[in-house]
Amino acid sequence: MEKQQQSLIVKDGVNYLIPFILVTFCFALWGFANDITNPMVKAFSKIFRMSVTDGTLVQVAFYGGYFCMAFPAAIFIRKFSYKAGVLMGLGLYAAGALLFFPAKAIGIYGCFLIAYFIMTCGLSFLETSCNPYILTMGPAETATRRLNMAQCFNPCGSIIGMFVAMNFIQAKLNPMSSDERALLSDTEFEALKDADLSVLISPYLIIGLVIVGMLLLMRFTKMPKIGDANHDIHFLVTIKRIFALKYYREGVIAQFFYVGAQIMCWTFIIQYGTRVFMAEGMDEQAAEVLSQRFNIFAMLFFICSRFIATFLMKYVKPAMLLAIFGVLAMVFTLGVIGFQDRLGMYCLVCVSGCMSLMFPTIYGIALDGLGDDAKFGAAGLIMAILGGSVLPPLQAMIIDEGTLMGMPATNISFVLPLICFLVVTAYGYRIHIKKHL
């Protein structure tokens, strides 16, 4: 088993273990950023006395950075190297995180959105660099398995992000409810907002310093120059060539809907759980903290499921496995919609397990056979992360309705992830039919 695992990162007699570990650590770093941010929709809504829809501007800024920077990142990587792309990503990530300090001093919501946007421009560089970089660090036939293995560490960072959000932000924010805050005078509100923002920014400042350390480590470590030989940039020709490939074009669409589903499920588990637990008699803050605990359970299940899925790929074709997990995700999402008690929360946790293999598997399938065009192909797939910016506000608008068709609007809103999983399932099944039947 050890020999087999080692062969995943050995190519032409060269062992890429150290570079693989360093690049894989970057997966954990952007996982941390993603999942410390999801609960901030609820936190900012409370701190600035806003609606859920206004709070989702955090997600618009966060995932909008991915969209705007993906192709510039690909051009940068093509001109220089994968390593240069990683360093640029870490630099922007650190800059965005450290900008939370002046944003707090100014005290305007928009300043935080700018910080998020800069931070995720860095994450866009990282994902555009690291995903295809991992694909090159070993034999082509094990590339999708290798990417799934590296992606296993992404949710490890996510769990740390959730843990920090729950214990060092949500638990330390003033427990005053949204309704009580609405009754405060302007002076009282400003004092409370300043105290809560001081709590909120601390983890971001710490992670910013950690990223600076990681940047220095990567800068002075020798990294492989696989795929860095061709620095010619024929942007429009390359884009036209890769988007002419149906399996790639449909992969970008599937990735858009998958990321939208993921962000909706992991963001609005807080709203979903808060409603369920407050109906059981808990106060709002206790319900939020317990909901975040369920979010951590969901991520643990996500991690375990990803390792299982990586193992199953030895026996089941990736596209078929993607379709199977998509069907299971739809079944559990129907449970999220239909149940109005803790059973719905349990179903939402199970949805995370079904999502575990989707991102890297869509990614690996879509980039299969692109060669050096994978740098621009990766950018298209990273741009598809825009789904995490576009779809959550739509779900938030439904949630803000309160009640629809005699049911909690929070439950009804999960029709959107259901549609997303249908698209992913169809992609996996179509690719399997085309390639293997």
Tokens of 130: 């690291």
Count of C-beta atoms within a 10 Å radius of residue 150: 27
Q: What's residue 105's pLDDT?
A: 93
Average pLDDT over residues 118-146: 84
How many helices and strands, by DSSP H and E, does the chain display?
23, 4
Q: What's residue 11's pLDDT?
A: 58
> Does position 4 have pLDDT exceeding 60, yes or no?
no
Amino acid occupying residue 298? A
- The answer to whether residues 296 and 160 touch, using CB atoms and an 8 Å cutoff, is no
Q: What's residue 5's pLDDT?
A: 44
Residue 241 CA to residue 219 CA, distance in Å, equals 34
Residue-averaged pLDDT of the chain: 86
Average pLDDT over residues 388-413: 88
Q: Which one has a higher pLDDT value, 394 or 184?
A: 394
Residue 167 CA to residue 128 CA, distance in Å, equals 31
Q: What's residue 2's pLDDT?
A: 42
395: three-class secondary structure by DSSP: helix
Q: What's the CATH number for 9-220?
A: 1.20.1250.20
The predicted-structure confidence for 308-357, as pLDDT tens digits, reads as follows 988 888 888 889 999 999 999 999 999 999 998 899 999 999 999 999 88
Q: Which one has a higher pLDDT value, 93 or 432?
A: 93
Band (9; pLDDT cuts 50, 70, 90): low
Q: How is 130-199 classified by DSSP, letter by letter?
A: HHHHHHHSS-GGGHHHHHHHHHTTHHHHHHHHHHHIIIIIITTS----HHHHTTS-HHHHHHHHHHHHHH
The single residue listed with the structure tokens 């949710």 is 155
The reply to whether domains 9-220 and 230-436 share a CATH topology is yes
> Does position 295 have pLDDT exceeding 60, yes or no?
yes
Topology of domain 230-436 in CATH is Growth Hormone; Chain: A; (1.20.1250)
Phi/psi of residue 12, each to 5°? Answer: 55, 35
DSSP lists the bridge partners of residue 30 as none
The predicted-structure confidence for 274-284, as pLDDT tens digits, reads as follows 999 998 888 88
The single residue listed with the structure tokens 């859920």 is 52
Average pLDDT over residues 226-237: 62
Q: What's residue 250's pLDDT?
A: 92
Burial label for 180, CB within 10 Å (0-12, 13-18, 19+), is exposed
Closest CA to 265 of 254, 256, 275, 273: 273
The predicted-structure confidence for 60-106, as pLDDT tens digits, reads as follows 888 888 888 888 988 898 888 888 999 999 999 999 999 999 999 99
Q: What's residue 50's pLDDT?
A: 86
Start-to-end Cα distance in the chain: 30
The predicted-structure confidence for 29-52, as pLDDT tens digits, reads as follows 988 998 888 788 888 988 888 887
* From 1-5, 191-195, 419-423, the region with the lowest mean pLDDT: 1-5
Residues comprising the chain, all counted: 437
Tokens of 76: 């940068």
> Does position 412 have pLDDT exceeding 90, yes or no?
yes
* From 62-76, 175-189, 191-205, 363-377, the region with the lowest mean pLDDT: 363-377
Q: What's residue 265's pLDDT?
A: 92
**Torsion of Cα atoms, 131 then 137 then 143 then 146, to 10°:** -80
Q: What's residue 419's pLDDT?
A: 97
Burial label for 201, CB within 10 Å (0-12, 13-18, 19+), is buried
Residue-range domain boundaries for the chain: 9-220, 230-436
